[in-house]
Amino acid sequence: MFDPDFGSNVRAFVVRMVIVAAFLLIVFKLWDLQLANKISYGKKSEQITTRVIIRQPLRGQIYDRNGNVMVENDPSYTISIIPHEFKRSQVAELAQLLQMDTLDIERRIKTGMEISPFFPVKLKRDIPFSALTTIEENLRQFSGVYFDIEPKRVYVGKARASHILGFTKEISENQLATMGDYYKPGDIVGYSGLEASYETILRGEKGYQFLAVNARGQVVGDFNNGKDDIASEDGSDLYLTIDEGLQAMAESLLVGRRGAVVALDPDNGAVLAMASAPDYDPSIFSGYTSREDWDRLNNDPDHPLFNRATLATLPPGSTFKMVLASAALQNDIVNDDWTIHCTGSFLYGGRIFKCHGAHGTVNIIEAIEKSCNVFFYNLMLKVGFDDWTKFGSLFGFGQKTGIDLKEENPGVLPSPEYFDRVYGKNKWTNGYLISLAIGQGEVSATPLQMAAYTMAISNYGKYFQPHLVNYIRDHRTGRIYYTRYSERQIPISKEVFDQLRQAMYLVVNGPGGTGHAAQIPGIEVAGKTGTAQNPRGKDHAWFIAFAPYDHPRIAICVMIENAGFGGAVAAPIAAKLIKYYLSEPAMSPQQNELNGAVAANAEIAN
């Protein structure tokens, strides 16, 4: 029964040796710590402890596609407090010196205490240089109150690009609870735009320096000769697809309006420009943000913080007609011999649906050119709801495009199931479809979706994931990481795309076209006007376009709120932007070099 080896002398010896080894290891380590004086604790007689200084990394910079800096960092002055060293009786005096609310200081100390009484808590950041000297002189009467130099964002680009870049701000209590252990009260985080979506890449990693402090709270030197210190790692830089000049021009063309512009590169889905108006000055948030500034921006009835380009969902109006046309042509429901006679109105289910005029006999190409509603009312009834939804979905409607921003709305692409859900089964009739045929009613889309749709028509069905970041550059090593984006081919034949493109060409250049305002001498532009019916006020104007017609280099969507007919206001804006962009060299030499030569195999988890 007994194993011959059970409890043998050899095994007992091994057990005893393991015990001895474990204890010797501990003794050697204790010797090292307590007697060998590897750690310098200052003078023997003093009770030494440590203080932690947090070294903030530099947040990554942001560049446009041509390597122009858009966002960089400047030093700013921050007052911090170490709760353990601070005498609570001095709160009132300190509040007076810093011109802060006593309760605000107490609240900040309290949240800091929950982390550790020995870690600095930021009290007030971005102190103006003028106030600095006064504060510095008086600071000596307080124990545990210190200065820090912290980087803050400065916006140096020609364009504001506030909705693309987004802003940084002191972390909220809510974010502290959800964003993980890295963040501590007083940290700066990206709140919106690229600053938020690329937060972990931009922010870098904090560093730590340990100081030896005596019982009176005086620093007596580096703790352990700096061996425990951890260097900070600066954040990586973002190189955008944005063309700063085009972006600046888009912003200037939107001044005084409410609306958005999105321009895409039809070769890859790169966002060339994305503007939303009204915008805001992101530098308001980079240092200390006053309550008034925040309230003013937040409560502005024009919602300047709201990125209309990706969040505003409006009925696309007539710009949506190519969806229905593609469904009809691809499924061979009609061809360009099929015509409708437009008398200016359409009677269905006892209701009269209007057209912009009496267009006479039109085929599908002319119907797009002249934006004839009656043609599309009839076509919708032939194509049917299911196929309309299916083709809308192929062009990316009703779903997010996946742009690298957190702020994005999917819009609404109605389907029979959707109507069943909203109105109840059998509670809706085909009459509801008539509005959808011309892009009105429940269907809605963002300017970004419209631009991507235009891109996909212009390039024969290649739907690239729209994106703002071209590549990421590691600040320390200089290595370049290309971001990867998806693409898909829309299953629609080349012949159908030829017809859609031809119709859009005629919108701008044909005799009956509605988009003549987008004509540019020397450049062949194709486009489509649209008007979103607005029950609460003047209609919203849409214009989508791409150019040059043969080999498109830009696909653009312009949306102006309450501007009425799309051809009048939106089309000229699109024309100016196209003209500007196409007059630029195709791609700057440095960009070509970067794209070709560097780190093609590099990738990043995104």
Partner 1 sequence: MFDFFKESFDLKLFLIAVALGILGAAVVFSATFNSGLHEYFVRDVIWQISGMVIALVIMFLSNRYLQSSAYFIYAITILLLVFILVAGKRVAGSTSWLGFFGIGGQPSEFAKVATILALSKFLSEKGNDLQEWQVVVLSTAIVGFPMLLTLAQPDLGTSIVYMAILFPILFWAGLQPVIVVALLAPIVVVIAEFTGTVPMIVTVVAFGILFLVLSQRKLFAVTLSFVIVSFGLFMEYFYKKLLAPHQQKRIQVFLNPNIDPQGAGYNALQARVAIGSGGIFGKGYLHGAQTQLRYVPAQWTDFIFTVIGEEFGFVGAVLTLLLFASLLFRGVRIAELVKTKFASLSAIGIVSVLLFHVFINIGMTINLAPIIGIPLPFVSYGGSSILSDWVMIGILLNFYANRKEH
Q: How far is CA 216 from the centre of its chain?
A: 49
Q: Which of 50, 283, 313, 331 binds partner 1 (CB under 8 A)?
A: 50
Q: Which of 92, 103, 115, 422 binds partner 1 (CB under 8 A)?
A: 115
Q: How many CB atoms lie within 10 A of CB 604?
A: 15
How many residues line the site for partner 1 (CB under 8 A)?
Answer: 51
3-class secondary structure for 416-430? HHHHHHHHCCCCCCC
Q: How far is the CB of 204 from partner 1 (least distance, A)?
A: 14
Q: How many CB atoms lie within 10 A of CB 25?
A: 10
Q: Does 230 bind partner 1 (CB under 8 A)?
A: yes
Q: Which of 146, 148, 179, 210 binds partner 1 (CB under 8 A)?
A: 210
Give the footprint of partner 1 on residues 506-545 (CB under 8 A): none
Please, which residues bridge with residue 152 across strands? 74
The stretch near partner 1 (CB under 8 A) out of 223-231, 448-456, 479-487, 574-582 is 223-231
Q: Which of 156, 208, 343, 429 binds partner 1 (CB under 8 A)?
A: 208
List the structure tokens of 577: 């932007």
What's the CA gap between 264 and 271, in Å, rounded? 5
Q: How far is the CB of 495 from partner 1 (least distance, A)?
A: 45
Give the footprint of partner 1 on residues 118-177 (CB under 8 A): 118-119
Q: Is the CB of 41 or the CB of 146 nearer to partner 1?
A: 41
The stretch near partner 1 (CB under 8 A) out of 94-102, 116-124, 388-396, 557-565 is 116-124
Q: Is the CB of 149 or the CB of 605 nearer to partner 1?
A: 605
What's the CA gap between 170 and 150, in Å, rounded? 12
Q: Does 181 bind partner 1 (CB under 8 A)?
A: yes
Q: Would you call 334 helix, strand, or coil by DSSP?
A: coil
Q: Is the CB of 117 or the CB of 245 nearer to partner 1?
A: 117
Q: How far is the CB of 47 from partner 1 (least distance, A)?
A: 4
Q: Name the helix (H) or strand (E) containing 392.
A: helix 385-394
List the structure tokens of 354: 């209007």
Q: Which of 49, 68, 502, 534 binds partner 1 (CB under 8 A)?
A: 49
Q: How far is the CB of 125 from partner 1 (least distance, A)?
A: 19
What's the CA gap between 273 and 265, in Å, rounded? 10
Please, which residues bridge with residue 263 across strands? 273, 556
Q: Does 219 bind partner 1 (CB under 8 A)?
A: no
Q: 241: closest CA among 268, 201, 272?
A: 272
What's the CA gap between 83 and 121, in Å, rounded? 7
DSSP conformational letter for 518: G
The set of residues, in sequence order, having a beta carbon less than 8 Å from that of 489 and lying 6+ positions away, is 461, 462, 463
Binding site for partner 1 (CB under 8 A): 1-8, 11-12, 14-16, 18-20, 22-23, 25-27, 29-31, 33-35, 38-39, 41, 44, 47-50, 52, 54, 115-116, 118-119, 180-181, 184, 208, 210, 215, 223, 228, 230, 605
